[in-house]
Amino acid sequence: MIGALSRSRRWLLVAVAAGVAAMALAMMGCEEEAEQPATTPGRTPAAEQRAQPTPTPAVRELGTTPGWAAGGTGTVFYTKNFVCGQGEPCIVGEKGANPAGVRDPVPTVWVLIPLFSDTQGLELHCPMAGSCPAHPRQVDVRRIGLGQVIPLPPHSHIVDPTEAGFSTAPDTPWKAVVVGIKTRAAWERVQAGKSLQALRQVQANEADATPDIPTNLFLFFGIR
């Protein structure tokens, strides 16, 4: 009987040891599961593609110049080449019909041309004759009695934000109107005011500036 009890104790010890070992293994397994990071369902390629933002198409710019409006200076960026009536040369002194597909109201860009020689230090948005982005290289000035066809003179630009059709968006069509500024002092007043109102004040004196001179030239630009 003593032998039987001894065998029973040994069996019990073995069983207890086996149980403890099993519990230890189970606890280790639980800890390993707890340490596993949480996972989220993977996105399909189609879902990834849908999640990408749609890129904004880049605006094609042919060049930039400064421009005046409402007392400040902005950047004029040209997005299409000019159009002038029946083709080049563009005509100063003759109003042109709207280009195909362009409907009224079409805003105006006033092209200010110095009619005096001392321009050093003045703000000229297109300072070189015959060279300005998306502008004609030459203009026909016979209608205003200044010769035949000449290189596009150095000039600056004014637009008016209160005018019908005004927009800062790319590809906006603008009809060009020429104003000749006759004295340096008059130019400096317009340059200081940087607005249509300042130009109109100068135009009030015939000795300082010409009236508005129509053209058949249309420019296409945005403003920023």
Burial per residue of 31-51, b for 16 or more beta-carbon CB atoms within 10 angstroms, e otherwise:
eeeeeeeeeeeeeeeeeeeee
User: pLDDT tens, 14-71?
Assistant: 333 434 334 333 344 434 444 444 444 455 555 445 545 554 557 789 999 999 999 9
The mean-pLDDT minimum among 18-22, 177-181, 204-208, 216-220 falls in: 18-22
pLDDT at 52: 56
Looking at per-residue confidence, does 40 or 135 come out higher?
135
Q: What is the pTM of this model?
A: 0.74
Cα separation values, 63 from 24, 53, 81, 111, 203, Å: 77, 29, 10, 17, 30
* Residue of 174, 150, 165, 139 lying closest to 65 (CA atoms): 174
The domain limits of the chain are 1-29, 63-223
pLDDT, tens only, 179-190: 999 999 999 999
Which residues make beta-bridge pairs with 151? 138
pLDDT at 207: 98
